[in-house]
Structure 1
């Protein structure tokens, strides 16, 4: 009797142990099946280095966004170039990056040179950029350098800009012709009295030729490739130039219209092909200095678009035609800029629509 009583508890303990073992095995098999289903190429639940990179850098299934751009590649794309493009990089490209985070644009400056259109194109040819932003057209020698490396360059116009002339608020002249601007910057006209103003020496300011596309465009199209005069005061940036013009009665400076026209400390002059056809770079009526802080002058978009304003230019996306991802990235970016949304944002950034 005593032996039967001892056998029963032992039997029950054995049954319980076997049940627990089977339950544990069932749990482990179910868990293994779930892991394998989530990652069929890697049944191990431990994150491998490849898996970690995949999670943090390249997302094959990005979250749904407002991104609706055909042929937009995914990845990190370096770009840069013209300083004139700074408002677009700030106000327009930021929207693109927000809508399409998988298209990661990274502005890249040159290491040992000043940023500008020419430097950007040089970096593009050297494969340091995926595409470049330029305020001038491609030069034949740049395309020749690219072709020697097995590809060509293409320029895609996306906006209209103009060159505005900045002078001190106290300068009392109605405006300048393009020929007079050329004579000032080639030292043929050196006193404002020669242009109907007061007896005051002219102090022409300019960035260096190496500074970028605006200077190159000015030399090519306003100076007709003539050399700067000996009295030019070279200055580093447009910001520095505006400050100097504001405190120097005889100073004059040229720059991208969106950088000049809204400024309150200087005034921008009407210019024309002839003295009886002067066109203001700002919308009429001109804002007075006392009103400027709350109501800055706006670009004369209509005359810029029609060409009535005599010194206008296109802004270009420069694309490497090599049939690779860089070309795809540059073309997709340019195509987005000429969409209704892109053109509206460009206009808000201070430039003129091309469409």
Structure 2
């Protein structure tokens, strides 16, 4: 399906962006956007106090890209944040409601794999990761580590664009193994890994790399080319939080690191205030100022 693109111009600062509407606008979706919500939105509010942004989470479902897109189609929110592109089923459901949705990429993100800091494993191939999450490899000793059972954590497929990306790009469309433990938030998963010597989890790079209680590991297409998502040297947990691991933007930007994807704002094309709000928010994130913030947060600028 050819998708109409909202034209996005190059502005340097938030203050230069025109047509930012007045009112209260709700948004929601991807957990990957959490750092953006916490850091960039308050800065936008300083410049445009009348452009009020309120995060909305569905009371009965865990947050995630798929849920956000569904809330947008159900008119519960003004625009959605998504770590996956729109799918044909999204377009169809929107059309049934008389809606036309578009996706606008605002940043690039990497998926990082984390383990317990004491685990003697520095990296995994995509295939080893697949075998762990499909249940074919069950002990770290099978990968040259200690004799510790592997406990693989994931968010549910329904909730997250991150999970869908992992199923497609790591599992090759196969199902998770029966032993995979499903949790609803990255915070819970990181806590579980820090308490579990055999734990492993994957999430958006800015949510993982700088954390003190886990260890990010290198990932590669083969064992001779494992790519670290962080800048050398790896900071040991006892030096954190005075020193934290830093994302290495170069390996995400040049495509060396195998697990990268784009992040989108999903906007309703209805020529009403909702579209104006979604377009304005997108435009704000795409300013030089917005992209500088993205970079500081550990995302990769898209322009």
TM-score, structure 2 normalization: 0.92
Q: Compare relative contact order (CA 8 Å, sep 6+) and give the higher one, 1 or 2.
A: 2
Measure the CA separation in 1 of the matches of 2:213 and 2:126.
Answer: 24
CA distance in 1, matches of 2:33, 2:280: 18
Q: What SS is found at the alignment partner of 1:304?
A: helix
Aligned-partner Cα distance in 2 for 1:221–1:181: 11
| Partner residue in 2 for 1:69 | 17
**Contact kept? 1:92, 1:349, Cα under 8 Å:** no
Alignment partners' CA distance in 2, 1:204 and 1:154: 35
Question: Pairwise mapping of residues 7-156 of structure 1 onto structure 2 (< 5 A)?
Answer: 67-156=15-104
> Where does 1:1-355 land on structure 2 (aligned, <5 Å)?
67-355=15-303
CA distance in 1, matches of 2:84, 2:167: 12
Bigger Cα Rg: 1
**Any idea what the Cα deviations from partners look like across 1:274-321, whole Å, max 9, x if unmatched?**
111111111112212232221100111111111111101111000111
Secondary structure at the aligned position of 2:266 is classed as strand
The SS at the match of 1:322 is coil
Tell me, which stretches of 5 or more residues in structure 1 are unaligned? 1-65
Which secondary structure does the structure 2 equivalent of 1:94 belong to?
helix
TM-score by length of 1: 0.79
In 2, Cα distance between equivalents of 1:148 and 1:237? 31
Give the superposition deviation at 1:173. Answer: 2.1
Q: Deviations 1:67-101 (Å, cap 9, x if unpaired)?
A: 33122222221111111111101100111111011
- Return 5+ residue gaps in structure 2 as ranges: 1-13
Considering fraction of residues, name the structure with more helix: 1
For the Cα contact (< 8 Å) 2:62–2:184, is it kept in 1? no
Taking only aligned residues, the RMSD between alpha carbons, in angstroms, comes to: 1.4
Cα distance in 2, alignment partners of residues 315 and 244 from structure 1: 27
The more displaced of 212-221 and 77-86 is 212-221
Instruction: Give the drift of 1:178.
Output: 0.8
Cα deviation 1:165-210 (Å, max 9, x = unaligned): 1111221123101111111000111111211112221111112223
1:223-259 CA distances to partner (integer Å, 9 max, x unpaired)? 1221000111122321121122112111111111111
Distance 2:205 2:15 in 1: 31
